[in-house]
Structure formats: C-alpha cells, structure tokens
C-alpha cells in the first residue's frame, strides 16, 4: 500500500476522532468556567504562554498572518494579550511584525542580565530574542548568538512553535537547543565574576524522523487532516529525560522510530558525549519500506511501569492488518528496564483493533507506577459503512493499571464506550475537533478527561478515587482539534486554550476557558 493510500486512511481516521463525545448529562454544579476571546487581525497560526510582567498570571502571545489575496502575499505578526485578575481583554495589548527570517519561537530566560522570560526565535543566523519592558516588548530583536541551524527557511503561513529551550540540569536556568542537519548543539548559561554568557556545552548526533519537537505534538498528523504537505520537511527528535542506569540522575532519551539514543550522565552530572544506541527491533526494515509513511507514526516513550525508578520503554506502532478491508491495528510493546538493560524481546505486547493515535502514560491510581490509557476506535469497512450510512462512530476509552512487575492485564482496569453521532456535512466534523485531552480541571491532582461532544461544546468527565464520574460537565464553546490544557492563573486547575482552522470568523481568535468553582460566576466574554 502506498504512503498516499495510508495517508487517506489516516485522514479518515482523524476525521472519525474529530467529533467524539459523551452523552452523559451535564453537571455544571461540579465545575464552572469563564470564557474570553482573544481576537487578532487575520488568521491565528500558533500561540505561546508565559508570565511576562511578573504578576504570577500567564499571558498569551498569538502568532497570526494577514493574507493579501490579490498579491498572493502574507504578513506575519505577534500579538500580546496580558492577563489581569479579571481575565483577558478582547483586543491585544501590543501587535508587531514578526521578523521575516524567524522560523520557530519559544519562551525562556534568554537574556541572562535579568530573570526573563523573553520571546526567542531561531533563524538561519542563530538565536534571537525580544525583551519585555514596562508591559510591552521592545520590537527590535537582539541577537543572542550565531549558530548553524536546520531552521533556515521561514514558513510564509506562520511562525512555528518549537522547543529551543529546556532545563536539562534542573538548576532553574534553561539550556538552549539548536538543531542542525546532522547534529544538535546544546548551549549552557555560564555565570562567573566576569558576568554571564552562553557557551556551547555539547554536540550530539541528531536522529531525524522522530516526533516533532513542538508545542503542537500532533503537527504531522494535522498536516494530513488539512491535506497539506508538512510545513517543515523534517521531523526533530523530542528530547525526553528519565533515569536509564539507576544512578538517580535523569539521562537524555532521543527516540527514532523503534530505536533510542540514550545520553547518560557522569558522576558530576555532565552529559556524556557518546550515546548508547538501543534498537528494539519491533519495526522490521521491510515493513518500513512497504508501508512508507507508517514509521513516522511509530512512537517511543520512557516510563516507569514497576515503580523502581528506572526508565522502562513503551513503543506504539500502527500497522495495516487487511489491505482489502483497510483494517488497522495498533500495537504496544513494553520493555522493562533490568538494571540499565532491556531484553531482546518485549516483556509485554498489547494489541488493539483499530486506530490509537498514541498512549497516555500517567499514574492514574496513585500507586507510584505509571499506567497506560488509550483512546481507541475500530477501523475497517464495517465502521466506514456505519459512518456513511448512520453518521455514527464509537469511541472506546481504556485504562490499564500497572502491576508490581510493570505489566498489564489483558482486560482494562477501566473501560467506557462513548458513541457519537454527527453530521458529515459539518466542516468541523470532517476536519477539526479535538482528540481526547487529559488534565486536572478541578484541582484535585487527578487527571480528568475532556472531549468534544459536538462542534458546539466539550464535556469533561471528572475523575474520582476509582474511576471517572458518571455525570459530565458541559462547556458550551466551539470545539476544535487544537485544544490545549494549561493552568493560566495559578489556581491549581488546568484551563483551556483553543484555536481554530477552516472555521470562518473563529480562525481570527484564540478562545481561553478559565476553570472555576461552580460558586464562581461563569460566562463568556466576546
């Protein structure tokens, strides 16, 4: 089967996932919300958040484009929305043109002369940043340092959000990551009697064709849904950290398909120059050659399934079972860490009929061991007939608790089917509603489940001591594939940021939903 054919299958699969929802009765007495519309000129492309003015409230920077249809040109902009104790205003506090050379942006403490944060971006000439001063940004960028980078060609359709800063040393100061075609540079902030500066501290091979290192971790799949080619023609490794060898230090994991590069630390905490490469062999080369695009959606994650502090590995893989019926199968392979070693074969294989975009790894029952949650829908000829004739899909949510050995029972610890009916003529049902989102919306330190009920609302299944509550909380707002949780006001509850695409006037705004106690006022501010 060709990569193009597989892409069509994934397109339909994502469309099915697009409008999933529960029919449970609403229970607004459990949780309230207040909504704000952050409006810009043109079309929203991305956003980032940070507390720029030091008031302990996270502000929002929206990247957007203004198209000139006659000239076939586009202009790129940044718009700043400052949060107050009353929420957000509809209009931006500041709008300025994005530099023409800017490729990807991130937020971090780039300027070592203050505590930051600043808005940074990477371009062909290196890393630059905008400094925040007196409730607005200085609109002239400052060059931080020169570096060779793979980010050389700006996207005329917007500035990509990428991870270029992360605190590897856990000292409160981010390091800066610069990707090039054949290696990755990591710069560390050095402070001494002479001042502070950024110095190159490590050069590491870059295993390309891994997951996109981006705030939008579904970018590759989204390009298929929108029927566009991927805006960035390469995929960067997501840098993950876990303890591989049991020395109590977090090592660096760089995945590539079913392989992983592990950079261990020495006794002083310094990252070693040479990685340990482990090939788990769950995706044979001939399968990759046959199915083309499938390796790009093979995902690898470190996790601690048995609670011993060592990094176990789970690999998810999508395969075609029956070419004639276009049936898909999702497989998980679990490798338990045995003192800094993994077996030649998986300790556990979990098979699911249909499509699973990725597993969610978290401790759901509070026993100190990571568990596995999945969102599954069966995919094949019968399901397509049901979709076309009855405009109905069935979504299944399953949670598998880990045992002391780090393995999982064949039957899920918790399972729930959520049928959903929708109108195929609705644009958002075809393209753009949300995958499931797990977050703590009520502040009880347990993960709740959010999903789109229909194009006009979401529902939240709040977690209890043992399982999700029977009743759900309904949020009346337009749903979208681009839905992201984050605690914006520091109250311990995850809020929502939503952006839209191909939905008319909604394309020009970011919807912010602040979660509140039911006793607090709820409403929408347009």
Structure tokens at 372: 């596995």
Spatial CA neighbour of 374 closest among 389, 353, 393, 392 = 353
CA 197 to chain CA centroid, nearest Å? 31
- Please tell me the total count of domains within the chain: 1
CA distances from 369 to 84, 304, 312, 402, 405 (A): 39, 6, 11, 6, 10
* Alpha-carbon span 386 to 283, nearest angstrom: 32
Q: What is the pLDDT of residues 73-132, one digit of tens each?
A: 889 999 999 999 999 999 999 999 999 999 889 999 999 988 889 999 999 889 999 999
Specify the pLDDT at position 522: 52
Specify the pLDDT at position 259: 83
Specify the pLDDT at position 489: 96
pTM for this predicted structure? 0.81
* Alpha-carbon span 462 to 526, nearest angstrom: 27
Specify the pLDDT at position 464: 76
Containing domain of residue 191, as a range?
3-525
Looking at per-residue confidence, does 265 or 23 come out higher? 265
Instruction: With beta carbons less than 8 A apart as the criterion, state whether 379 and 16 touch.
Output: yes
Instruction: With beta carbons less than 8 A apart as the criterion, state whether 330 and 356 touch.
Output: yes
Q: What is the pLDDT of residues 377-435, one digit of tens each?
A: 776 666 667 667 766 667 788 899 999 999 998 899 888 776 565 655 554 443 345 46
Question: What is the mean pLDDT of the segment spanning 282-299?
Answer: 53
Query: Residues of the chain with pLDDT > 90: what percent?
Result: 37
Instruction: With beta carbons less than 8 A apart as the criterion, state whether 412 and 372 touch.
Output: no
Confidence class for position 206, pLDDT limits 50, 70, 90: low
Confidence class for position 242, pLDDT limits 50, 70, 90: very high
- Sequence-ordered list of residues with C-beta below 8 angstroms from that of 461, at least 6 positions apart, any chain: 22, 24, 448, 449, 450, 451, 468, 469, 472
Question: What is the mean pLDDT of the segment spanning 476-485?
Answer: 87
Specify the pLDDT at position 1: 43
Average pLDDT of the chain to the nearest whole number: 79
């Amino acid at each position: 089967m060709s990569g193009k054919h597989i892409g069509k299958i994934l397109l339909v699969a994502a469309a099915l996932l697009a409008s999933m929802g529960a029919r449970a009765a609403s229970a607004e007495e459990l949780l309230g919300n207040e909504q704000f519309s952050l409006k810009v000129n043109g079309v929203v492309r991305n956003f980032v958040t940070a507390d720029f003015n030091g008031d302990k409230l996270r502000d929002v920077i929206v990247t957007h484009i203004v198209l000139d249809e006659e000239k076939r040109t586009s202009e790129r902009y940044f718009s700043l929305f400052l949060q107050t104790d009353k929420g957000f205003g509809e209009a931006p506090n500041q709008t300025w043109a994005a530099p023409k050379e800017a490729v990807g942006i991130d937020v971090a403490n780039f300027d070592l002369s203050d505590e930051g944060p600043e808005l940074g971006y990477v371009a062909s000439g290196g890393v630059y940043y905008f400094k925040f001063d007196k409730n607005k940004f200085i609109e002239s960028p400052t060059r931080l340092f020169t570096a060779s980078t793979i980010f050389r060609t700006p996207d005329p359709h917007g500035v990509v959000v990428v991870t270029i800063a992360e605190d590897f040393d856990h000292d409160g100061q981010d390091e800066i990551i610069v990707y090039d075609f054949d290696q990755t540079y990591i710069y560390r902030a050095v402070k001494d009697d002479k001042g502070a500066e950024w110095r190159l501290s490590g050069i590491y091979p870059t295993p390309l064709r891994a997951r996109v290192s981006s705030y939008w971790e579904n970018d590759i799949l989204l390009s298929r849904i929108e029927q566009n080619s991927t805006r960035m023609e390469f995929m960067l490794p997501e840098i993950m950290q876990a303890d591989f060898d049991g020395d109590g230090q977090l090592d660096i994991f760089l995945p590539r398909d079913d392989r992983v590069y592990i950079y261990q630390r020495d006794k002083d905490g310094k990252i070693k120059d040479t990685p340990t490469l482990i090939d788990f062999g769950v995706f044979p080369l001939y399968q990759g050659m046959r199915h083309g695009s499938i390796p790009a959606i093979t995902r690898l994650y470190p996790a601690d399934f048995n609670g011993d502090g060592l990094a176990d590995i789970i690999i998810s893989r999508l395969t075609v079972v029956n070419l004639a019926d276009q049936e898909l199968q999702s497989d998980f392979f679990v490798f338990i860490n045995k003192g800094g070693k993994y077996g030649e074969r998986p300790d556990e294989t979990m098979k699911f009929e249909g499509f699973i975009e990725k597993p969610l790894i978290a401790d759901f029952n509070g026993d100190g061991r990571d568990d596995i949650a999945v969102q599954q829908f069966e995919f094949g000829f019968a399901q397509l007939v049901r979709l076309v004739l009855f405009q109905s899909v069935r979504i299944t949510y399953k949670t598998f608790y880990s045992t002391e050995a780090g393995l999982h029972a064949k039957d899920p610890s918790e399972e729930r089917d959520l049928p959903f009916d929708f109108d195929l003529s609705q644009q958002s049902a075809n393209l753009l509603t949300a995958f499931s989102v797990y977050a703590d919306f009520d502040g009880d330190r347990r993960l709740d489940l959010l999903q789109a009920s229909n194009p006009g609302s979401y529902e939240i299944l709040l977690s209890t001591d043992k399982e999700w509550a029977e009743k759900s909380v309904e949020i009346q707002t337009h749903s979208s594939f681009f839905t992201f949780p984050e605690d914006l006001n520091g109250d311990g509850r995850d809020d929502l940021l939503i952006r839209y695409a191909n939905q008319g006037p909604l394309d020009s705004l970011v919807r912010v939903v602040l979660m509140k106690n039911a006793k607090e006022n709820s409403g929408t501010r347009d």
